[in-house]
Structure 1
Amino acid sequence: MSLRPGPPQRPAVRVTVGQLEVGTDREANRLAARDALRTAGRARADLVVLPEYASAYDRRGVGLDLAEPLDGPFVTTLREDAARHGVAVVAGTTLPGGEPDADGRARAVNAVVAVDASGGLVGVYRKVHLYDAFGHRESQHLAPGPVDAPPLVLDVAGLRFGVLTCYDLRFPESARRLVDAGADVLVVPAAWAAGELKAMHWRALAVARAIENTAAVVAVGQAGAGVVGRSLVVGPDGVVGLEADDAPQVRTVDLDADELRSVREQNPSLRNRRYAVVARD
């Protein structure tokens, strides 16, 4: 990996990391996302990654009040600006229409959308692992995505980017399932909750997912109160090539496809594995 001011030197794939501060003001959030895409366009990036809940976020909990459909203003803006700047986008949002809880209360869905550089909606990943941990109960407001949904993998400039989000990072089988589907890079939009040891966990888990899968990891955290920020890009050998602090920022890095192939030749752990990933309810 490298940080390069000029155009990407192929076979490098240029990725812009948008570590945004997100709140309940949807229009302000759209403007922040548009600024990140504009920056990515000026940097001649191939892909921009925005955090989990990039459309709207409330640290007290995200639910139906902050949800909007795929044809709503946020995803529509992403698609229009992706086409305008010629850059693919992966971003977190919240969708209506989740399964009700056991008491019949309506819930939303924590989702990540993937948009290609022509503005086409390539796919949607609905978060499987809800954050019912460390005193949080995401399942009070959100329904989980189906465990047997096809993995979301986006082709960008010769690399394949597999999508998971936030708490999924703690479950290595989620990452391995994406690699089995052909992912070279794991993309992790997150609003990683702050707390004791949490920033350390975030970094350690991102590095571990890179090493065990010989895959690059692009982990993009939200900035602001209650979340850690600290986005990072990790090479397939576990070396951290970009690491942010907790302030809002937009950074760009090149991923080297040749480096990934070289690491996988030297460390053929994916070929040497003896167990498969199987979904369970």
Structure 2
Amino acid sequence: MSSLARPPVRPSVRVTLAQIAASADHAANLVVARDAFVAAQRVRSDLLVLPEYASAFDPRGVGPEHAQPLTGSYVTGLREAAAATGVAVLAGTTVPGDGDDWRATNAIIAIDRTGELAGVYRKVHLYDAFESTESDRFRPGPADAPPLVLDLEGTRFGVMTCYDLRFPESARRLVDAGAEVLVVPAAWVDGDLKAMHWRALAVARAIENTAAVVAVGMAGKGLVGRSLVVGPDGAVGLAMDEQPAIRTVDLDPERLRSVRVHNPSLANRRYRVVPRD
């Protein structure tokens, strides 16, 4: 067999970043997500990452009116697409409130390659900053909930979202639970210095945790987009602009682990992270 005919050799984990521009229409957004699955399958990705609020987004504000249960059409459609393509997915959605609290939950769902719901992360740090009050429309996830860390092809992926990126203890808690890659679906609001913050914080979380960071921002009006992938040494391996696009990267698990050998800052730490009362 000639060298040109040999199948490509690649690292264990291939990740597709779908920097989409979502609307308030669940059905339309599901069509966009299915197209992203097809693109991920075409390049044999193991994981597809969609942004925060991928199920429904309104630049004037997302709220309970955009929510669907986990058994609704959007999540069901993602599960069907994952099973059909063999690609796992992390995606942002909005889940209705229950009981006495009418506010919705900002959630990232994890679906495995067979279409099974593998976990749900409920956003802990609500975006009550920069003249926004997400807590008016959403309730926070419990700070003491078990971290969402998924094993995919022998590599551990920890999940947080958007504003969580500003809190280093969120990332450290995931790393303490075994995460080697931090995945951050987001709808990062644009504004003065905001694009710089997004990139700088992603790089910082990578360096201080000797973990790769896959940060997927939504494209569209009032948002920065600018998805990026950062290596555990802080090197930016992929940086997108503000336009909708789909890109794929390979993550080498041996490279991730070798950085921790050469820079054992996690082993040298003297404090642990615990939730506040």
Equivalent position SS for 1:40: helix
Matches within 5 A, 1:59-138: 59-97=59-97, 106-138=102-134
Deviations 1:34-87 (A, max 9, x none): 111110001100000000000001122111110000010111111111111111
Q: Give the aligned residue type for 1:33.
A: A
Retained in 1: the 8 A contact 2:88–2:112?
yes
Q: Give the aligned residue type for 1:194.
A: D
What's 2:193 paired with? 197
Identity among equivalent pairs (%): 69
- Structure 1 residue 271 and structure 2 residue 257: aligned? no
Matches within 5 A, 1:1-281: 9-97=9-97, 106-281=102-277
Retained in 1: the 8 A contact 2:157–2:183?
yes
Retained in 1: the 8 A contact 2:11–2:250?
no
Judged with a 3 Å threshold, the aligned counterparts in structure 2 of structure 1 residues 257 and 272 are, in CA distance, closer, same or farther, namely same
Retained in 1: the 8 A contact 2:22–2:56?
yes
CA apart distance, 1:26: 1.4
Measured in 1, the distance between the counterparts of 2:50 and 2:66 equals 17
Retained in 2: the 8 A contact 1:98–1:143?
no
Q: Give the aligned residue type for 1:130.
A: L
Measured in 2, the distance between the counterparts of 1:64 and 1:116 equals 27
- Segments of structure 2 that go 5 or more residues without pairing to the other structure are 1-5
- Segments of structure 1 that go 5 or more residues without pairing to the other structure are 1-5
Measured in 1, the distance between the counterparts of 2:250 and 2:7 equals 10
Measured in 2, the distance between the counterparts of 1:38 and 1:272 equals 43
Measured in 2, the distance between the counterparts of 1:99 and 1:44 equals 42
Judged with a 3 Å threshold, the aligned counterparts in structure 2 of structure 1 residues 50 and 248 are, in CA distance, closer, same or farther, namely same
The runs of 4+ residues in structure 1 deviating greater than 6 Å are: none
Equivalent position SS for 1:160: strand
CA apart distance, 1:12: 3.1
Judged with a 3 Å threshold, the aligned counterparts in structure 2 of structure 1 residues 277 and 99 are, in CA distance, closer, same or farther, namely farther
What's 2:3 paired with? none
Equivalent position SS for 1:107: coil
CA apart distance, 1:120: 0.8
TM-score (norm 1): 0.94
Judged with a 3 Å threshold, the aligned counterparts in structure 2 of structure 1 residues 8 and 114 are, in CA distance, closer, same or farther, namely farther
Q: Give the aligned residue type for 2:25.
A: D
CA apart distance, 1:158: 1.1
Measured in 1, the distance between the counterparts of 2:9 and 2:153 equals 12
What's 1:3 paired with? none
Q: Give the aligned residue type for 1:212.
A: E
Q: Give the aligned residue type for 1:219.
A: A
Measured in 1, the distance between the counterparts of 2:131 and 2:32 equals 30
Retained in 2: the 8 A contact 1:99–1:107?
no
CA apart distance, 1:11: 3.8
CA apart distance, 1:244: 0.4
CA RMSD of aligned residues (A): 1.3
Equivalent position SS for 1:149: coil
CA apart distance, 1:9: 3.4
